Structure 1
Amino acid sequence: MIAVSVDWHEAWTAALDALELDVAAAEALLAETHRASDNALPDPWRPPGGIGPLPLDLRPRAEAILARQTAAAQALARQMVMNRQQTAMVARFETGGSQTGPAYVDCAI
């Protein structure tokens, strides 16, 4: 019975390790100035099958990871809103490209 308990605990520890790496990657994207295309998209996390409920001694760690995930999701949402606002503002500026209006006015008429 002890071996099952150790395997169960190790399985959940590995699952939380994977979640923590995903959160760290999201936090790194927020901290870095790299474009999203420069970074590979992580695979979505899926709970491992057949390992049973979370051990009670791992609950504080799982709650801390959840708090980090929530904070990272909120920060990503804020960054997306700011990016859209900045894009809209820049779109209003004239870029100096080809002129769409007349180049001169004929005053002889």
Structure 2
Amino acid sequence: MERPGSWRTAWVAALDALDADVARVEALIADAQRVRDLPLADPWTPPPGLGPLPLDLKPRADAILTRQLNATRELAVAIAANRKQAAFAAKVEQGYGKAPPTYVDRAM
């Protein structure tokens, strides 16, 4: 039988890991240039034998979940904006679909 203290300690560690993941995503959103330099986070899976969440940690778990959902929405918006910017840049580089300039020698 596990001691209640180790059960709570395991949950605190699991929430710390989730909190760190969300903080990393929030930092990436705030500083988009670091996205190129950092690897993508691995999906979180609960450690084996974690047990049920202690009731006193539920507010923290709920707050982390809310932050995860907000970060997900912000990432989706940032990705969409990035795609729009890339499409616009491609059009600018190609001259909005116009034919490239053609030079005609009128001296002939």
Bucket of the pairwise TM-score, normalised by the shorter protein? 0.7 to 0.9
Aligned-partner Cα distance in 2 for 1:94–1:40: 30
* Deviation sequence 1:25-80 (CA, Å, 0-9, x none): 00000011314231132222111111211111100000000000000000000000
% identical aligned pairs:
49
Structure 2 residue runs without a partner (length 5+): none
Q: Bigger shift: 68-77 or 31-40?
A: 31-40
- TM (norm. structure 1) is 0.84
Secondary structure, aligned partner of 1:46: coil
TM superposition score normalised by structure 2: 0.84
Map 1:17-32 → 2, pairs under 5 A: 17-32=16-31
- Alignment map for 1:1-109 (pairs within 5 Å): 4-94=3-93, 100-106=100-106, 108=108
Return the alpha-carbon distance in structure 1 between the equivalents of residues 93 and 48 of structure 2. Answer: 56
Unpaired runs of at least 5, structure 1 = none
Query: Aligned partner of 2:84: which letter?
Result: Q
Number of residues of Structure 1 aligned to a counterpart in Structure 2: 105
Q: Where in structure 1 do 4 or more consecutive aligned residues deviate above 4 Å?
A: 105-108
CA RMSD of aligned residues (A): 2.3
